A and B are shown apart, each in its own frame.
Chain A
Amino acid sequence: MDLSMYLPRLLDGLGVSLQLTALSIVFGYAIGLVFALGVSSVHRGLRWPALVVVEIGRGIPALVVLYIVYYGLPAVGVLFSNFWSAAAGLTFTVAAYSSEMIRAGIQSVPRGQGEAAAALGLSRLPTFARVILPQGLRSSIPALMGLAIQSFQGTSLAYSISVNELMSQAYQVSSLTFAYLTVYAITGLIYAAIAVPATWVSVWVEHRLARGHS
């Protein structure tokens, strides 16, 4: 079957998808943490802007974010390549969603923790940084893992701005071979082949975390 000629192309696309995923997760979580801290802040000057950015990031479809970065920014003089436009757009979306998850994790830390730290005489900053935040992050891990898998699937949207990731390659290959169903089915299976084991891993991690803790 001549389709096997095209499998390497699809796998090249997969490589690009994985790069996009990695970038969006690494930078997205970091920025998300900053947003989460901003949203939890007592200073209104920090809280409101952070809230607005996060709600916008969560309220706009990822596809629209990608178009805005890709089409819109050249109009204001900022020129990213396709790949980096996609990376920036996906990072923004991941940051917004992860910020909510991290914030929820921080909020879920029992009040008694902060009270115990205060009773010991720890001041606010070390209490937060060494007692609350580590526990909060730990609670957010399951949700963040789910987000990572979704971000991998989200890279498929980069097709719409002509990034040569897996979906784009699939489109090109299917246009060349006319074997639409086969090519897209294989593409779906490639995504699944990564997403399903990743889900198993995340469930396993979630169990391990729960065990050591209660």
Chain B
Amino acid sequence: MEAVVAVLLGLPMTLLVAAAAFAIGLVSGIPLLLGLRSRHRAVRVIVRFVIDLIRAVPPIVWLFVLFFGVSFGALRFNALAAAIIGLGVISAAYLAEIYRGGFATLPAGQTEAARALGLGRRSTFVRVLAPQAVRTALPSIATFLLALVKDSSIASTIGVTDMVFAANTFVRQNPMTAGLTPFFVAAAVYVVISIPLAIVARRLDARLRRSA
């Protein structure tokens, strides 16, 4: 049906926004995590404040700030850039928290043993603590990705041509005949996308529980 095609045309954009924001978040979350674990109290406090601020403001507001509010002289972000950067920054904040959680559950004995052996701070962090922390954090990271795919729909409010935008456009162009269909199609696609991710998340979680 027309509605199905119209909505599916927005799918690549949905996936692009989610994937790009996720990639930005995965990488940018690392310096934030290091800041949270810094030896200097001032750094820890500032990073904590930044993360809390980013997470406290709704995503749609961030997107609007970046799209409407930010300009470099005559240049502005286009909708796609604003959406990816905005969601990317938000992802970095959430992922940094998830990373932190992974480290928080590590037994203190691991750090002690590594230090007692004479391993330096960097080796201890990179070769002993981080691999274990990542393993613990994987289920939460998978769950977060699921949420991010859904949140990418917010990009439609600033004009990114994703599935929700496509559904809206279709409804406006066919007010009499469209009905609920375009949105049901979009909803169905979101659910279908989330199924494999949810299965992966559950498996990771089960594997984590078993090895504990």
Contacts and interface: CB of A to CB of B under 8 A. Distances in A.
A64 B57 contact: no
27 contacts: A59-B187, A59-B194, A60-B150, A60-B191, A61-B151, A61-B164, A64-B153, A67-B167, A68-B184, A71-B180, A76-B180, A157-B154, A159-B157, A167-B64, A180-B64, A180-B68, A181-B68, A181-B69, A182-B69, A185-B69, A187-B61, A188-B58, A188-B62, A188-B65, A191-B56, A192-B53, A196-B53
Given A184-B69, A188-B65, A192-B53, A60 B180 contact: no
Contact of A64 (B55, B64, B190): B190
A67 B154 contact: no
Interface in B10-35: none
Contact of B57 (A63, A171, A188, A199): A188
Given A167-B60, A191-B61, A199-B56, 19 more contacts: A56-B187, A59-B150, A59-B194, A64-B153, A64-B167, A67-B167, A68-B184, A71-B171, A72-B184, A76-B179, A153-B56, A153-B58, A181-B68, A181-B69, A187-B61, A188-B65, A189-B57, A191-B56, A192-B56
B111 interface: no
Contacts, number: 112
A56 B192 CA distance: 10
A145 to B, nearest CB: 14
Cβ-closest 5 pairs across A and B: A181-B69, A72-B180, A195-B56, A192-B56, A156-B58
A75 interface: yes
B113 interface: no
A196 B191 contact: no
Nearest to B49: A196
A196 B56 contact: yes
A199 B97 CA distance: 14
B150 A61 contact: yes
A55 interface: yes
Contacts of B153: 61, 63-64
Interface in B133-159: 150-151, 153-154, 156-157
Contacts of A59: 150, 187, 190-191, 194-195, 198
Contact of B168 (A62, A67, A153, A191): A67
A60 B58 CA distance: 18
Q: Could you tell me the dominant secondary structure of chain A's interface residues?
A: helix
A184 B61 contact: yes
Contacts of A171: 64
Interface string A165-197: 001001100100000111011011101100110
A170 B57 CA distance: 14
Interface in A133-185: 153-154, 156-157, 159-160, 167, 170-171, 174, 180-182, 184-185
B49 to A, nearest CB: 9
A69 B83 CA distance: 25
A174 B61 CA distance: 12
B191 to A, nearest CB: 4
Contacts of B157: 63, 159-160
Contacts of A64: 153, 164, 167, 183, 186-187, 190
